Amino acid sequence: MTDSHTATGYPLAHLKVLDFSRVLAGPFAGRLLCDLGADVVKVEPPDGDITRLWGRVIGNLPGYYHQQNAGKRNICIDLRSDGGRQLALDLAAQADILIENFRADVMPRLGLGYEALQAVNPRLVMLSISGFGQGGPESHRPAYAPIIHAEAGLLARQARRGRIPYRDLPLSVADTNASLHGLVGVLAAIIQRQQTGVGQHIDIAMIDATVATDDQLQYDLEDSETTGPLPSETWESGAGWVLVSADFRHLWRMLAGEFGLTDPTHKTMPLPEKIRLRRECMQAFFATLESWDAVEAAMARMNIAWGRVREPADLAEQPTLAAHGLIRSMDDRAGGQRPMVQAPWRFSNADHGVRGPAPHRGEHNEAVLADWLDRSPSEITALTAAGVLLRDEDVLDASD
């Protein structure tokens, strides 16, 4: 497995990160820090990250867990055991960054709140991601991305614009937005620490991050949705479905002007009938485009942006993604390969990228404690015997 010593040329190779988080919002932030070269140590409880139950299992590593935790090292600590909290504090004393995404009361209840961590490491930058933030009127509420999608108005807008029932989005945008905003805050705090020598606590509420990143919200706040552009539409070409990013009225004018489509309407015709007939005429034109080359040529002739409606499973074939190598094959820890989506940066003078597969629980207990705390093999053995440290086989044995 990768560690900080093999990240030469990566921007964050000098940083140590303790990742107490689970599921997505925290692990995604940790994964990106790891891709940038930080030594990210996932601190996992005995019952494990719930995402170990999600996705195709290869080499005892489910796909969802693997994607968000690739390249990290793993130490499994029972924080309820005698000595568990102290070991976590010892590690925090050596860390540059600590990530957690529990409800606001969980880390303080474990004795690992910011005040306790700051006391052992004033330089620590702590990132807390939660649904509703720290100390507010709803900080006690548990939240996953769908909860925030509902509370932030995304479900209502999707239902209204799409004329569909309320249903969740097909991706966890509330989680990943919070991760990315959190990373901006973390890196800003690291830069400030270079000037002051002091770390700080960054509080990211998923609902805040979602609303702050919502480019469509201003229409709702000012009741002005009718002033925005008409939505992009999909058309069925002879090669497959195409999304065209153009106002319907502009697209009709371009098709009529560039391709000579005859207007089937007249001035006294009711508007709904006029729209229907023009749509039929436009759809008939798209049906004549029987290859993707023909689609691209037609869109280029009109200088209109368009997109092929692709199945997610086929994205490795998307030309730009393929050229950038964004979806790569990597070691599956079972003698084969599995797909891995890379981070999107393209630096001119730095390395980045996934540096290894995801870890098993407790896989790096010995290595992390030796690297970070200079603990001897006998000390690590004692912690294991006391039930402070566990690894996958220990957890499995205990559940039998």
Q: Which of 42, 38, 184 is nearest to 99 (CA)?
A: 42
- Pairing, β 125-130 against β 200-205: parallel
Q: Residue 238: its pLDDT value, please? A: 96
| Nearest-angstrom CA–CA distance, 10 and 351 | 5
Q: What string of pLDDT tens digits covers the 400 residues of the chain?
A: 444 446 779 999 999 999 999 999 999 999 999 999 999 999 999 988 999 999 999 999 999 999 999 999 999 999 999 999 999 999 999 999 999 999 999 999 999 999 999 999 999 999 999 999 998 999 999 999 999 999 999 999 999 999 999 999 999 999 999 999 999 999 999 999 999 999 999 999 999 999 999 999 999 999 999 998 888 999 999 999 999 999 899 999 999 999 999 999 998 999 999 999 999 999 999 999 999 999 999 999 999 999 999 999 999 999 999 999 999 999 999 999 999 999 999 999 998 999 999 999 999 999 999 999 999 999 999 999 999 999 987 555 544 4
201 sits in the region (left: phi over 0; alpha: psi -120 to 50; else beta) called beta
Q: Per DSSP, what are the bridge partners of residue 306? A: 244
**Residues near 376 by beta carbon (within 8 Å), at least 6 away in sequence:** 370
User: Around 331, how many Cα atoms within 13 Å sit in the side-chain half-sphere?
Assistant: 11
Give yes or no for a contact between 324 and 318, defined as CB atoms under 8 angstroms apart. Answer: no
Give yes or no for a contact between 320 and 344, defined as CB atoms under 8 angstroms apart. Answer: no
Q: Which of 97, 81, 220, 227 is nearest to 160 (CA)?
A: 220
Measured torsion, CA atoms of residues 191, 197, 199, 200, in degrees rounded to the nearest 10:
-90
Token pair 């004795």 is found at 111
- CA 64 → CA 19, 154, 258, 344, distances in Å? 17, 24, 47, 19
| Nearest-angstrom CA–CA distance, 27 and 42 | 8
> 3-state DSSP call for residue 30?
helix
> 3-state DSSP call for residue 128?
strand
Ordered domains of the chain (ranges, CATH): 4-216+316-399 (3.40.50.10540), 241-308 (no CATH)
Q: Residue 258: its pLDDT value, please? A: 94
Q: For residue 72, give both structure tokens.
A: 């990290």
Token pair 């002005």 is found at 224
* φ, ψ dihedrals at 87, nearest 5°: -65, -40
